[in-house]
């Protein structure tokens, strides 16, 4: 099991951050992703595999100011 934004979901072997964002419909154009409190740069979303029991925070960022 993994936890994404406080919700528990099934862990899938060989799933990258990019795959996970797509599976959970969190694939907004611009997001901040932290895994177990560690910031993941966006250029690594397609290379970093999700480990079982990870806790993932995903927050969309939109323009304005």
Partner 1 sequence: MDFDKVEESNLDRQYYFFDQIGRLKVNALRENIHKIDPSIKVEAINLKLKSGSMEEPFKEVDVVIEALDNAETKASFIEEILLKLPGKPLIAASGVAGYGGAERIKTLRMGNLLYLCSDDEAPSSDEDVLVAPRVALMANWEANLAIEILLGEKYD
Residues that bind partner 1 (CB under 8 A): 29-32, 34, 37-39, 41-42, 57, 59-65
From the CB of 43, what's the least distance to partner 1, in Å? 9
- Nearer Cβ to partner 1, position 9 or 31? 31
Q: In terms of C-beta density within 10 A (0-12 exposed, 13-18 middle, 19 or more buried), how is residue 7 classed?
A: exposed
* Cα 30 from Cα 62, distance rounded (Å): 7
Closer Cβ to partner 1, 12 or 28, answer by number: 28
Which one, 1 or 62, has the nearer CB to partner 1?
A: 62
Neighbours of 4 (CB within 10 A): 20
């Amino acid at each position: 099991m993994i936890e994404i934004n406080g919700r528990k979901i099934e862990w899938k072997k060989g799933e990258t951050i990019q795959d996970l964002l797509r599976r959970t419909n969190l694939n907004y154009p611009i997001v901040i992703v932290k895994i177990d409190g560690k910031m993941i740069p966006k250029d690594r979303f397609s290379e970093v595999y999700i480990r079982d029991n990870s806790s993932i925070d995903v927050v969309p960022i939109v323009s304005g100011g």
